[in-house]
Amino acid sequence: MQMNPNKDTQLCMSLSGRPGNFGLRFHNHLYEQLGLNFYYKAFSSQDLPGAVGGIRALGVRGCGVSMPFKEACIALVDELDPSAAAIQSINTIVNTNGHLKAYNTDYIAVAQLLKSHAVPTESTFALRGSGGMAKAVASALRDGGYKNGLIVARNETTGRALADSLGYDWQAELGERRPQMLINVTPIGMTGGVEADQLAFEPSAITAAETVFDVVAIPSETPLIVRARAEGKRVITGLEVIAIQALEQFVLYTGVRPNLEQFEKAVAFARAA
């Protein structure tokens, strides 16, 4: 991608335990297509306070925040947008003259996808996970009218806390439950992880489900999604989540909203890496 940086170029970035290329390619593609003097770079760090301090000190305009930093960053920013404050999980930091305000565009993306895929609100569901992204997904479900849910989390403390805060049940494992929607919000199935080739739910649960939603975006076709497609299920992928949340981040950073064609071209470019 041709870039012509200068002293006025505004830097945006991401912080992730496992940096990927999607956000970098998505944002930089749109910057070039729209003639914006921005550049985006992906980072990881073992020094989170130092990294966030660098955002403030160096005038980095925006930062996308991914696992495992979505909750730990809260204490390091100055202000929480209601989208983040309500669920105590962030995925976006916007720096305005040294003032760091945090948002959660994951929530926005999940809410949009549940509607666009026409997932019935009466569907029972099981959500595996209890971290920051799980809070965003579960909150979008609750606010979208999904009342009969189960949080599946081996960590009883965080699992029960999430379930209790939203009025759902908690179990350490799915057991004999066979809900209509299965949602994975853990690293199971993620490229590079120790469970990259594993299913987040057992095969019989996938067979019994109507909808399968995997928030993992790398790869775009996780073992869970591949299995669900093979069985003809309605699927929602992590790629869809990451694309919509990236679009909302782009708008927060630049103040510019691309049209649908520009958005779709940026997603296609980002996927081609």
Cβ atoms 266, 29 nearer than 8 A: yes
User: Rounded to whole angstroms, what are the CA distances from 272 to 21, 25, 220, 265, 267?
Assistant: 10, 9, 11, 11, 9
In whole angstroms, give the CA distance from residue 39 to residue 9: 7
Known catalytic residue: 70?
A: yes
Cβ atoms 211, 181 nearer than 8 A: yes
Cβ atoms 54, 12 nearer than 8 A: no
User: What amino acid occupies position 184?
Assistant: N
Which residue in the list 70, 101, 115, 233 is annotated as catalytic?
Answer: 70
Cβ atoms 237, 214 nearer than 8 A: yes
| Sign of the four-CA dihedral 85, 67, 195, 247 | positive
Q: Which residues are marked as active site?
A: 70
